[in-house]
């Protein structure tokens, strides 16, 4: 198998528990090299948990996760940090450091992981801010930014090291329509410009499908379906149709499980 045809991330029969609650049962996913893979599913199904296992913040209860061919759960701290230098992550909450300016937030990965001279760091930070349309904000503090602006600064920071793998945790959540359109455009354009691999976790069907090269749909602790956006939209599988079309009743029922309604009313 050629390097270009090998998956960059392999999730192999992974199971995961939070305490006694099972989040995943035997999930297997292969993320291809290059392009955008979108992982979808309802809130609470464990999409962000999967990203945390890919970057080694969490370990699976069973199974294995390989990134760049390395077995992530088996890595020691030193090797895990080396692996993470090849990744960039945009967190759901943006996770900007509140006591640092925009410039210093974007520069932070460079200062922590390289010995680059200050002049080069400055040029790289300004270049990344320019890419996301935020050059001119470098002296501002995070508290002075709107939600959409903060998301773009977080994206600049995630890409400042030109990572081989970019992870996005709910990048579309809580944005107004204009900011939503900007972030969607940037995720697609930066993935192509950097010739990198992006994994986007989202429950936003419209935006997710609009940028995806490949889609994985999770639910009830398993992989329900996978394929191109066109293939999933054409699916007759009830779980897929309910999620993608927002149907209020189906495999995920409208009513919470309960005893007979009439009997409940008449009960004394």
The answer to the question of residue 224 being in a domain is: yes
pLDDT at 18: 83
At CA 216, angle to CA 20 and CA 75, rounded to 5? 60
3-state secondary structure of 89: strand
The answer to the question of residue 116 being in a domain is: no
Better-predicted residue by pLDDT, 255 or 42: 42
pTM of the model: 0.89
The residue segments making up the domain with residue 33 are 3-86+163-266
pLDDT at 236: 86
**Which residues 6+ apart lie within 8 Å of 196 measured at CB?**
34, 162, 163, 164, 165, 166, 190
CATH of the domain at 12: 3.40.50.300
Parallel, antiparallel, or unpaired: how do β-strands 165-169 and 62-67 relate? unpaired
Per residue in 7-60, pLDDT tens? 999 999 999 988 888 888 889 999 999 999 999 988 777 788 899 999 999 999
The answer to the question of residue 141 being in a domain is: no
Distance CA 136, CA 145 (A): 12
The answer to the question of residue 262 being in a domain is: yes
The answer to the question of residue 74 being in a domain is: yes
The answer to the question of residue 111 being in a domain is: no
The answer to the question of residue 138 being in a domain is: no
Distance CA 153, CA 38 (A): 22
Number of folded domains that form the chain: 1
The answer to the question of residue 140 being in a domain is: no
Return the DSSP state at 144.
G
């Amino acid at each position: 198998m050629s390097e270009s045809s090998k998956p960059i991330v392999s999730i192999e029969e992974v199971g995961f528990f939070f305490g006694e609650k099972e989040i995943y049962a035997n999930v297997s996913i292969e993320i291809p090299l290059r392009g955008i893979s979108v992982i979808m599913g309802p809130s609470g199904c464990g999409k962000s948990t999967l990203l945390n296992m890919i970057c080694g913040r969490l370990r699976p209860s069973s199974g294995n996760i390989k990134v760049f061919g390395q077995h992530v759960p088996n890595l020691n701290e030193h090797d895990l940090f080396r692996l993470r230098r090849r990744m960039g992550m945009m967190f759901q909450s943006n996770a900007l450091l509140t006591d640092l300016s925009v410039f210093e937030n974007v520069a932070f990965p460079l200062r922590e992981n390289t010995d680059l001279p200050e002049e080069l760091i400055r040029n790289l930070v300004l270049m990344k801010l320019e890419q996301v349309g935020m050059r001119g904000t470098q002296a501002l503090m995070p508290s002075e930014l709107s939600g959409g602006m903060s998301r773009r600064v977080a994206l600049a920071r995630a890409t400042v090291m030109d990572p081989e793998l970019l992870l996005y945790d709910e990048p579309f959540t809580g944005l107004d329509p204009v900011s939503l359109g900007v972030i969607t455009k940037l995720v697609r354009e930066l993935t192509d410009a950097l010739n990198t691999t992006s994994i986007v976790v989202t429950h936003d069907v419209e935006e997710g499908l609009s940028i995806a090269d490949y889609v994985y749909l999770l639910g009830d602790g398993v992989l329900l379906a996978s394929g191109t956006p066109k293939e999933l939209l054409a699916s007759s599988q009830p779980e897929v149709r309910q999620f993608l079309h927002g149907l209020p009743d189906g495999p995920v029922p409208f009513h919470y499980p309960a005893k007979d309604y009439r009997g409940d009313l008449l009960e004394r």
